[in-house]
Amino acid sequence: MSILIRNGRVIYGENFEVVEADVLIEGKGIAKVAKGINESADTVIDAKGRIVSPAFINLHTHSPMGLFRGLADDLPLMDWLQNHIWPREAKLTREYTKVGAYLGALEMIKSGTGTFLDMYFFMDGVAEVTLESGLRGYLSYGMIDLGDPEKTGKEIREALRTMEFIEKLNSDRVHFVFGPHAPYTCSIALLKEVRRLASEHNKLITIHVSETMAEIGQITERYGKSPVVLLDDIGFLGRDVIIAHGVWLDSRDIQILAREGVTVVHNPGSNMKLASGVMPLQKLLNAGVNVGLGTDGAASNNNLDMLEEMKLAALLHKVHNLDPTVADAKTVFRMATLNGARALGIKAGAIKEGYLADLAIIDFNKPHLRPVNSVISHLVYSANGNDVETTIVDGKVLMLDGEVLTLDEEKILDKVEKTIEKLA
């Protein structure tokens, strides 16, 4: 199948140059970006008055947690987790989790996200939803053993079962990732075994690290070192590791992360809402660390809107540093696109010949997006997920003119309400 997007303003290449051009998609990739493409295509989309952007890459989320949106707000992380979220998660079944995954997939498609890195439970069910939705998903089973050797084995077996299930789907859009939850919830034995298995099976690893001061205190008391130093000492870190949050990082931590090529995912909405702190973004970027952007789960954000997340990231660091020049629009846009693709090892995050055809078409025919003095600035500071009109992933149209084509939106929303009633 081929798609021709005509008459749009295209954010082209790795430097995000805005040009008036057409985009020709053939199969799963971008075949041509040029003015006045005359080749025929199976589908033609008129993007006049629209911006053709790379689809966004949500590098850290828990997509089924939309079920808990608004249920335990305005609380610190450990109270939020231990007294509200974990007790509710104990009631989840595969069926309920799939309903949450459908809700998350729907929200991401409608707000221009094409790829997401997920950590949760019943990830075989989430994989089925991802496959059906048309999204590109990197899925990790969240492993927690709390130092119990019996549970260590159980968690490893469940992760391997999930990996086998996902690999049997035989999809180049759905991938397995190892996901130990965090150094404070996982034993050294579990972390070492994850490192060994990830290397053996050539899989990525994602893990929460240095999210709160309480976590730093726990790890320092238990091991006498920071979480990053601990992971480095056991040989855990590498270019295949993606750590979420990285709020409480000191200069030694940053030096280690840069040396090992680790990606750090910034989650400003969640970090602010839970009052976790402000990650040292500028120091990480100055050190050459690859920094991506994520929403975290919709229970702590409370949405999966990457356009909104870009604005939060930019504004947070300007006021925190008392410097309006930090976290500029193009830097934050890169975090939400190319940097995420770099972390995942895929040729995406940019509109250029030979790249994966993952695009979002955004309607700029709206008062809050006019006049168009700067496209990238408008996307970061003025736009929101509701402005996304069309989403394309892997050369397939998932949403056209605001209508999701791969999922039944009305049916999903109805199932969500019924599921919440059952969980209550």
State the pLDDT at residue 81: 84
State the pLDDT at residue 88: 86
Q: pLDDT for 190-226, tens place per residue?
A: 999 999 999 999 999 999 999 999 999 999 999 999 9
Q: pLDDT for 84-142, tens place per residue?
A: 888 888 899 999 999 999 999 999 999 999 999 999 999 999 999 999 999 999 999 99
In order of 35, 84, 315, 364, the CA distances from 372 in angstroms are: 20, 44, 21, 8
In terms of DSSP bridges, do strands 263-266 and 174-180 run parallel, antiparallel, or are they unpaired?
A: unpaired
State the pTM of this model: 0.97
Smallest CA-to-CA distance from 272 within 290, 244, 247, 243 is with 247
Pairwise pLDDT comparison (91 vs 408), residue with the higher score: 408
Residue whose tokens read 């008391």: 221
State the pLDDT at residue 126: 98
State the pLDDT at residue 84: 87
State the pLDDT at residue 258: 98
**Torsion, Cα of 218, 221, 226, 229 (10° steps):** -120
